[in-house]
Amino acid sequence: MNASPQQPAIEAIGISKIYGQGQTEVIALNDVSLSVARGEVIALLGPSGAGKSTLLTAMALINPPTSGRIVIDGVLVMEGADAKIDLRTFRRQHLGFVFQKANLIPFLTALENVQVAMEINDMPVRAARQRAMYLLDHLGIADRANNLPDALSGGQQQRVAVARALANQPNLILADEPTAALDSHRGRQVMELFAQVAHESLAGVIVVTHDTRALDVFDRIIEMEDGRLLDG
C-alpha cells in the first residue's frame, strides 16, 4: 500500500447503488465517480436523500455498491458487490470512520474505546494505550479517559469516536456528519483536526456535512443531488 503521493487515496469509478427492487426500488447512487488525492480534504454536501451516506458507506467498504469499482491506494477492492480482498482486514488497516452517532462500545471507557481499535490491529497493549491517551489529550478529553460513554456528553463521545478513527493512522478517513453533535467551535476544531491529519500523514478525508460555517477548512467541496455529483 505504499503507493506514490500522486496516486489517489481512493477512486470510486461509475458507482451505482440500487436499494430494493420493483415498486420500492430506489436509485441512491447513479453512476458516481469520485477521486480523492492523498492529503486532500473533501466536503460532501447535498440535500437529504441525495445519496451522501450511501456513497460514503460504499467507499467505507461496508455497503457494497450494485455496480462500479472502488480502488484504494491503487488496489481494486470492490467490483460491483464483489469484494476483491478481505474487507475487514482492509478496513482495520487503512480506514477510519466517524458517523453521526459516536457508536462507542458502552462497556469500554473512553480510553479503551480508542485503544481497542489499535489492539485489534495487533498493536501491543502499552503502545496502544499510550497513543489512545495522546489522541484523547489532543482532542481535549484526556480528563474523561476513564469514563464509560454513558457518562460523557454527546460532543465528548463524538470526540472519542474521532480519536478512534485516527488511531490506526488510516490512509482514508470517512466521516458522516461527524460534527452534528458538537457546537460550532468544537465542530470546527474537529474539521481542522481532520485537515491537519490529512496534510501531515497524506491521508484522504471525505466529510459529509451540513455545517457551511466550516467549509473554509476543506480543499474541495462536492455537492450531490439525486444520486449524482453536481459539476462544480
Partner 1 sequence: MNLALRDIRHNASRFAFTTVGIGLLLMIVMGMGGIYRGLIFEATLLVDRIGADLWVVQGQTRGPFAENSRIPASLEDRLRAVPGVARSRRFVSHALQREHHGKPLRLMVQGLAWPDDKGEWVSLIAGRSLGLALGEYVKFGKDRYRVVGITGGMSGIAGDGLAFFTVSDAMAIQFDLPGEALRLERAARVGRSENQDLGRTQPLSLERAGGPTSTLSELAPPQVSAILVTLQPGTNLDHTVNLLSAWPDISIHTAQQQRDLLLSGTVEKSKRQLGLFSVLLIIISTIIIALIMYTLTLDKIHDIAMLKLIGARNSVIVGLILQQALLMGSLGYGLAWWMGHYLFPYFPRRVLLDTPDLIKLAGITVAISVLASLLGIWKALRVEPNTVLT
Ligand X SMILES: Nc1ncnc2c1ncn2[C@@H]1O[C@H](COP(=O)(O)OP(=O)(O)OP(=O)(O)O)[C@@H](O)[C@H]1O
Read off the C-alpha cell for 48: 437529504
Give the one residue of 49, 83, 84, 119 binding partner 1; rule: CB under 8 A: 119
Binding partner of 97, given partner 1, ligand X, Mg ion, none, CB within 5-8 angstroms per partner class: partner 1
| Residue 54 touches ligand X, criterion: CB under 6 A | yes
Give the one residue of 8, 37, 43, 53 binding ligand X; rule: CB under 6 A: 53
Task: Write down the residue that cell numbers 497524506 correspond to.
Answer: 202
What is the H or E stretch that residue 38 is in?
none
Inter-residue contact 210 to 15 (CB < 8 Å) = no
Read off the C-alpha cell for 6: 500522486
| Residue 53 touches Mg ion, criterion: CB under 5 A | yes
Question: Nearest-CA neighbor of 212 among 43, 98, 54, 56?
Answer: 43
| Residue 117 touches partner 1, criterion: CB under 8 A | yes
Helix residue ranges, H only, 22-100: 52-59, 87-94
What is the H or E stretch that residue 63 is in?
none
| Residue 50 touches ligand X, criterion: CB under 6 A | yes
- Residue number of the CB closest to Mg ion reads 53
Bridge partners of residue 225, in order along the sequence = 228
Summarize as ranges the residues that interact with ligand X (CB under 6 A).
19-20, 26, 28, 46, 48-54
Summarize as ranges the residues that interact with Mg ion (CB under 5 A).
53
Summarize as ranges the residues that interact with partner 1 (CB under 8 A).
53, 57, 62-63, 88-93, 95, 97, 99, 103, 105-108, 112, 115-117, 119-121, 125, 148, 164
